[in-house]
A = this chain, B = another copy of it.
Amino acid sequence: MTKPNMLPPQIPTLNTARIETLADGVFAIVMTLLVFDIVVPAQQLTDELGGLLPALLTQIPNILSYVISFIILGVFWVAHHNQFFFIKRTDRTLMWINIIFLMCVSLVPFSAALFSSYGTDQVAVVFYDLNLIAVGLVLYAHWMYASRDSHLLESPINPEVKRTVIRRILLPPVLYIIAIIFSFISVEVSIFIDILVPVLYVLPNRIDRQFRAPRNEVME
């Protein structure tokens, strides 16, 4: 504030609108591309299996992979969304953390395709887990950088809120690390954990109270 500044001080600093638009665009595309893993059965397969219904049933692992990948991307989108509830300004570093974050997110359709093609192969499961760990850790770095000294925030964050957010962000990476460890014993347990994580996050929990909208008791 006391240093000379080449820009007139009243010019607003970089806002977060375009980062959020880019992120929403990337999430929308990545989520939608997941559907390409589910393939329309070839006529030949349908003939072999004696009908479209049994042919469609071969797509169940792919549909399951679609659902859990879509939901875990939803988890990360909600988490990113919630961070920007507090973050109101951006700088170059935060933009780049976002781009790295989106680079990891954009890899998910590949990891999910690998997962649904090689479902029982430990390598595919571990790759999928590593991808989601990377997404989670970059999102953690995003929060740590942005919340560090509040210069990018609307107002200082209550330390308890800060800790709760951190716990929530770090939970998926921790669970995916556990999934990786278990994959050395049983790939099935590992897959079970991968299914469990999105389920855990869809259920409501403590941090929600922070975001609950106050009742609107007056009619405007």
Chain A interface residue count: which class?
A: 35 or more
Chain B nearest CB, measured from A215 CB (Å): 4
Among residues 93 to 122 in chain A, which have CB atoms less than 8 Å away from a CB atom of chain B?
93, 95-96, 99, 102-103, 106-107, 109-110, 113-114, 117-118, 121
Q: Is A44 an interface residue (CB 8 A)?
A: no
Chain A binding surface, main DSSP class? helix
| Cβ-defined contact, B214 with A155, below 8 A | no
| Cβ-defined contact, A102 with B31, below 8 A | yes
| Residues of A participating in the B interface, judged by any CB pair closer than 8 Å | 1, 6-11, 13-14, 18, 20-22, 24-35, 38, 40, 43, 46, 51-53, 56, 66-67, 70-71, 74, 77-78, 81-82, 84-85, 89-93, 95-96, 99, 102-103, 106-107, 109-110, 113-114, 117-118, 121, 123-124, 127, 149-156, 158, 160-161, 202, 204, 208, 210-216, 219-220
